[in-house]
Chains A and B, each alone.
Chain A
């Protein structure tokens, strides 16, 4: 283990942190869309309101992590960005369509409803786009993690369907979707602690999502074990993180089962973080295995230094602002007053 880092690795680490934040925060917003679409039972409407209340103030800030990642990637690793954009053209374009429709439909409903009335068509668009987007982002991630994107010397040579259309990638896409729904359900448990009926609704949904994502995770491991082992090798390259994830999974389920919302939330977030970082650490010096390494595809040193300065200054403004946002809207039972 080395403890020194060059600036390219440092920036790659920061971008991966941004990816983690996007997965944990915006992932739950997509999951919220899933539960909006599948709202059912006598409290279907209350469920939708709870989703809208939870997402409303924060989803746009959560979305910016993605923009930060995209701009950071093309600034610090322009070659990799170009290769990824081309190789994953199809799934990423579909995900973009999903992102546009999801955001717009949510805003139309949230800010237009009192002059137009309920907009059920946009509600369906919101739900469907919330399903499509994480699925295709998941398949794209699978293509990277399984080392299917070949670009020797920075020129893409693999095809436009490689890596993300395999059975493994499809299972991982579904897993990404299930994890988003799982995250959202546990967040919604916490935010509705004071409403026992809704809490029970979201607990049932969290359990369902936990089982589905667990089964899909095992299925992905099995497919990788008996077929293309590259993904498994990446994830288990540095054992501790992946082993922790295997231990943490049941803990999360237990917390949901015993209706411990806060512990469940921490555990599910932990699960996402562990999987993402097991992947990051496992693919070692590569940004996009097997051809593009972090150091070799980085922008010139002057750019990286300037970017670190911008990130430091920006971060000093960003972190207190984010803290304020979550403090105002997500502090202990803010809804209790209504």
Chain B
């Protein structure tokens, strides 16, 4: 399940972000009558055709695995948090339909109509993310139902479940993260091309487009991430303590950067401590109390090593990405053109994969931080798991398939990117270059 999710999510976020880039590029192409933007949009749409297909089928496996691996969890929760999943089904329908029109409609639809089909794709992609994350938010702060005295469901309010307290912080954070990852991955592809000396209008514009989306989104990711963390301090103190490696309940708690939480010594070893910073960030009061892991019975604690390192990994990489974006745009504004310094480009090539790792680390924080619960405070993961046979074999098969698909997808996308070298494309680029660089 985790493997499927980790695999699917990379495709899913590109399904959210890329359509927006395509939509903007094609809109610019029509508005400015500019062939180069059009070629960019076409190239992205080809890449998106592959990514969406792989994302769609891996998403199907996920929805099915929910029942397969967590039958008791689904039997309990399906009726409560199924609503966003149904809505997501429709969003996904719209995305698939208009993607079909977009990919295969280049010469069936008029240019403006064709451009219009990209708008529902971008919208429904974002809506899918919002709906699915609502369901995950519910697992963090379950709401909208009441248990009877026998422990069975007595009353359900699906709308309240969908709009549970975590939705307000988790949903925006995931949505903007999708744009972060898309932006920086796109930028990384073109930065790599520029490093290899392919300094043409496609690469410069591709890089600038990715960085425009990525830079705006990383700022928003910081803001939403901050409010998310402050919400977790209130709603899931055990997760918060694990994120920060806080064992003893204390006032004026420090932030520990890096380091390895040690259960034996009840503190984080080898980290850098910033006194009182945690209390301040969580509540704006440097002397506020932060509840420690020690106040939970051992069976109720998440794994602080995993959660703390994932959290610091996410924040650290996010900071790196943000600094790269700042450097890029400062240089771009001062030089009034896309910077092509080797060091900046190398940093941007690294920022692409870094954004993916940061996002995956973020999911580690939210998922492992919630353990041992699958529905926080209501149902334990061990109670929800399956009794199906041959799980090991199934995992092995799916991991092998995902590895094969990831490899092939990456190979095809790289070849697609390298295709710019083709004589035709390069000639077109030169022509437009000569025209644009007047």
Contact = CB atoms under 8 A, between A and B. Distances in A.
Partners in one complex: yes
Interface of A: 56-58, 60-61, 63-64, 66-68, 70-72, 74-79, 81-86, 89-90, 92-93, 96-97, 99-104, 106-108, 110-112, 115-116, 122, 154, 160, 299-300, 302-303, 306-307, 310-311, 313-315, 317-318, 321-322, 324-325, 328-329, 334
27 contacts: A58-B100, A61-B96, A64-B93, A64-B96, A67-B60, A71-B63, A71-B89, A75-B82, A93-B68, A96-B60, A97-B397, A99-B57, A100-B61, A103-B54, A108-B408, A111-B412, A112-B415, A115-B416, A122-B408, A160-B388, A299-B156, A302-B157, A303-B158, A310-B86, A311-B86, A322-B93, A328-B109
A334 B90 CA distance: 27
A102 B66 CA distance: 21
Interface string B63-92: 110111001101111111011011111101
Nearest to B91: A314
How big is chain B's contact interface, by range?
35 or more
Most chain B beta-carbon contacts within 10 A, residue among A97, A101, A103 = A103
Given A64-B89, A82-B71, A99-B57, A307 B82 contact: yes
A81 B74 CA distance: 8
B103 interface: yes
A84 B419 CA distance: 47
Given A78-B79, A82-B67, 5 more contacts: A61-B93, A76-B79, A85-B71, A116-B412, A299-B82
A85 B65 CA distance: 8
Contact of B49 (A110, A299, A300, A329): A110
Contact of A106 (B53, B83, B158): B53
Nearest to B58: A100
Contacts of A99: 57, 60-61
B103 to A, nearest CB: 7
Most chain A beta-carbon contacts within 10 A, residue among B57, B96, B108 = B57
Given A63-B57, A302-B158, A75 B50 contact: no
Contacts of B53: 60, 103-104, 106-107
Contacts of A313: 90
Contacts of B108: 328-329, 334
A102 B104 CA distance: 19
A302 B155 contact: yes
A85 B103 CA distance: 34
B153 A300 contact: yes
Nearest to B56: A60
B46 A111 contact: yes
B412 A329 contact: no
B94 A317 contact: yes
Q: What 4 A-B pairs have minimum CB-CB distances, sorted nearest first?
A: A75-B82, A299-B79, A78-B78, A107-B53
Contacts of A314: 86-87, 89-90, 93
Nearest to A66: B60
A84 B86 CA distance: 19
A254 B412 CA distance: 45
A334 B98 CA distance: 18
A67 B89 contact: yes
Given A115-B412, A318-B94, A329-B104, A310 B60 contact: no
B112 interface: no
Interface in B371-423: 386-390, 394, 397-398, 401, 405, 408-409, 411-412, 415-416, 418-419
Q: Secondary structure of the B side of the interface?
A: helix
Contacts of A299: 78-79, 82, 156
A171 to B, nearest CB: 25
A321 B94 CA distance: 7
B156 A104 contact: no
A110 B99 CA distance: 14
B105 A57 contact: yes
B156 A302 contact: yes
Contacts of B98: 321
Interface string B24-54: 0000000000000000000000110110111
A68 B192 CA distance: 40
B54 A60 contact: no
A302 B156 CA distance: 6
B405 to A, nearest CB: 5
A93 B394 contact: yes
A318 to B, nearest CB: 5
A78 B94 contact: no
Interface in B168-200: none
Given A74-B66, A112-B412, A107 B74 contact: no
Nearest to A72: B86
B331 interface: no
A47 to B, nearest CB: 19
B286 interface: no
Most chain B beta-carbon contacts within 10 A, residue among A86, A93, A160 = A93
A307 B83 CA distance: 6
A303 B79 contact: yes
Contacts of A93: 68, 394
Given A61-B96, A104-B405, A67 B156 contact: no
A314 B394 CA distance: 34
A328 B114 CA distance: 12
Nearest to B108: A328
